[in-house]
């Protein structure tokens, strides 16, 4: 196999994108350090839907757990009106999504964290990049916890509020509230819920996904949302929004929500950095560069896809610069194509 044009790399941020990037680079034979600012390496809560492309990416990362196979949406998705009328089963444009999977974020994060450690990535928690300086051959990094080091490539996968973006791009745009909110909660699986179901109701779209024999996850997208919601208001406001769906199963869902449901609301922020996504040998990945609205329900999938493609380009390139150019060329369109599915 051709040797990749780099010996070592630093990844900043151990979310879905950062872990996937670290695994991919390490499997290429690159020595990878991964710094994560959270000393507890705690994943976000709530459900995450992984599309077919990301499932393929996970297989490329060597992750194909039996648990993952078990939760695939093999039974398809029902699309219903707010009053419950069946509009379509596996409607056109969603057919590929029946190969997706919904899982709880901590479970997905655990799969990736185990694969990261198994790949030999050097993980440092509670650490970040304090400053960086680069020349044509590499990046000098000062860390918050130790002295510095030099890398052939630095990948900033530190989320929508990326510090790496600020360090490497002068005057980079700041994320801004998008006007959309995503509500989510866990609840006992209604006995009648045979398959994932979506109810469409104007500026609201409710999805209920079975995630286990006895558990389901609710995702409610709200357009024209007012902004962040105080924690004490989440449950009553969520019930209020669900009341706008006359469908009987939604009434039952609203009645099943209580203090154990872990109901939460995220006011979504948007950031889109124009091309290129690299500045010299610093590359941004995941939400740091294309988070998250417009494609709010696919950001995790896109971040993992970024990783696989980056590794492919590095494997075949004669220089880091050439790989980053090719990566940009191939990744720009998939990440900016208009959304055609309702997730
Ligand atoms: C409510 C909601 C539901 C969603 N549902 C889906 C879905 O169903 N499917 C899907 O594909 N996507 C979904 N998304 C989008 C998806 O969650 C994100 O796109 C994805 O998690 C982005 O991953 P990331 O690794 O790029 O960034 P993040 O998940 O934000 O991870 C960044 C990591 O970097 C760390 N970090 C931050 N700053 C620093 C620093 N300075 N130095 C070092 N480390 C740092 C953070 O602690 C974190 O671990 C959803 C988003 C929301 C808000």
Among residues of the chain, what percentage have pLDDT more than 90? 58
Give the Å distance between the CA of 266 and the centre of ligand 1: 12
**Same structural domain, 43 and 163:** yes
**Same structural domain, 110 and 129:** yes
**Same structural domain, 15 and 158:** yes
Residue 63 CB neighbours (<10 A): 19
Residue 118 CB neighbours (<10 A): 12
CATH number for the domain that contains residue 221: 3.30.9.30
Alpha helices in the chain (DSSP H): 16-27, 52-60, 66-70, 105-118, 163-168, 231-242, 248-256, 287-290, 299-316, 320-336
**Same structural domain, 227 and 129:** no
Paired with 48 in beta bridges are 103
Best probe residue, ligand 1, of 127, 297, 302, 307 (max atoms within 8 Å of C-beta): 297
Widest pairwise Cα distance in the chain: 63
In this structure, are residues 160 and 17 in contact, taking their beta carbons and an 8 Å threshold? no
Residue 32 lies in a domain: yes
**Same structural domain, 187 and 302:** no
For 51, residues 6+ apart whose C-beta sits below 8 A from its C-beta are: 96, 97, 99, 100, 298, 301, 343
Average pLDDT over residues 270-289: 90
What angle, 0 to 180 degrees and rounded to 10, lies between the N-to-C axes of helices 299-316 and 320-336? 150
| 175 three-class SS | coil
Residue 276 lies in a domain: yes
d(C-alpha 20, C-alpha 234), whole Å: 32
Best probe residue, ligand 1, of 54, 222, 292, 304 (max atoms within 8 Å of C-beta): 292
The residue out of 268, 291, 313 marking a domain boundary is 268
Give the Å distance between the CA of 334 and the centre of ligand 1: 19
Residue 3 lies in a domain: no
**Same structural domain, 264 and 276:** no
Reported confidence tier of residue 338, pLDDT bands at 50, 70, 90: very low
pTM above 0.85, yes or no: yes
pLDDT the model gives residue 335: 57
305 lines ligand 1 (CB under 6 A): no
pLDDT the model gives residue 65: 58
Residue 1 lies in a domain: no
Residue 147 lies in a domain: yes
Residue 343 clears pLDDT 50, i.e. is over it: no
pLDDT the model gives residue 132: 97
**Same structural domain, 187 and 314:** no
**Same structural domain, 213 and 171:** no
Residue 154 clears pLDDT 60, i.e. is over it: yes
d(C-alpha 24, C-alpha 29), whole Å: 9
pLDDT the model gives residue 172: 87
Cα distances from 77 to residues 96, 99, 100, in angstroms, run: 11, 11, 11
In this structure, are residues 73 and 98 in contact, taking their beta carbons and an 8 Å threshold? yes
Residue 207 lies in a domain: yes
**pLDDT tens string 172-225:** 888 999 899 999 999 998 888 877 888 999 999 998 988 777 888 899 999 999
Its domain, for residue 43, covers: 8-63+105-175+270-336
The residue out of 268, 296, 313 marking a domain boundary is 268
Query: Between 97 and 127, whose confidence is greater?
Result: 127
Residue 342 lies in a domain: no
Q: How many domains does the chain have?
A: 2
Please state, rounded to an integer, the average pLDDT across all residues of the chain. 86
**Same structural domain, 33 and 114:** yes
Best probe residue, ligand 1, of 10, 18, 163 (max atoms within 8 Å of C-beta): 18
Average pLDDT over residues 224-236: 93
CATH number for the domain that contains residue 26: 3.50.50.60
| 99 three-class SS | helix
**pLDDT tens string 259-279:** 999 999 989 888 878 889 999
pLDDT the model gives residue 46: 73
Least confident of 30-39, 49-58, 238-247, 324-333: 49-58
**Same structural domain, 187 and 325:** no
Reported confidence tier of residue 323, pLDDT bands at 50, 70, 90: very high
**Same structural domain, 264 and 274:** no
The residue out of 268, 299, 318 marking a domain boundary is 268
Query: Between 317 and 59, whose confidence is greater?
Result: 317
């Amino acid at each position: 196999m051709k040797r990749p044009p780099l010996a070592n790399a630093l990844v900043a941020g151990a979310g879905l994108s950062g872990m996937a990037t670290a695994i991919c680079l390490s499997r290429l034979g690159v020595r990878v350090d991964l710094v994560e600012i959270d000393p507890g390496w705690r994943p976000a809560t709530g459900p995450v839907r992984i599309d077919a492309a990301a499932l393929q990416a996970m297989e490329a990362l060597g992750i194909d757990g039996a648990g993952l196979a078990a939760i695939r949406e093999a039974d398809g998705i029902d699309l219903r009106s707010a009053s419950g009328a069946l509009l379509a089963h596996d409607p056109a444009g969603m057919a590929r999504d029946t190969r997706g999977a919904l899982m709880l974020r901590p479970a997905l994060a655990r799969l990736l964290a185990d694969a990261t450690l198994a790949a030999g990535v050097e993980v440092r928690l509670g650490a970040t990049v304090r400053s960086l300086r680069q020349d044509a051959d590499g990046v000098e990094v000062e860390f918050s916890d130790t002295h510095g080091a030099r890398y052939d490539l630095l990948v900033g996968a530190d989320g929508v509020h990326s510090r790496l973006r600020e360090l490497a791009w002068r005057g980079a745009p700041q994320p801004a509230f998008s006007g959309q909110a995503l509500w989510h909660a866990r609840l006992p699986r209604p006995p009648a819920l045979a398959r994932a179901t979506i109810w469409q109701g104007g500026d609201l779209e409710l999805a209920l996904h079975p995630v286990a024999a006895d558990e389901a996850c609710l995702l409610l997208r709200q357009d024209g949302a007012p902004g962040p919601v105080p924690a004490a208001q989440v449950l009553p406001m969520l019930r209020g929004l669900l009341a706008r769906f006359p469908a009987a199963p939604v009434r039952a869902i609203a009645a099943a929500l209580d203090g154990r449901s872990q109901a939460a609301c995220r006011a979504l922020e948007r950031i889109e950095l124009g091309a290129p996504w690299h500045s010299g040998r610093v590359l941004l990945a995941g939400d740091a560069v294309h988070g998250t609205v417009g494609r709010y329900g696919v950001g995790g999938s896109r971040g993992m896809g970024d990783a696989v493609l980056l590794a492919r380009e590095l494997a075949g390139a004669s220089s880091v610069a050439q790989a980053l150019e090719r990566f940009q060329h191939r990744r720009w369109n998939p990440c900016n194509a208009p959304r055609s599915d309702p997730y």
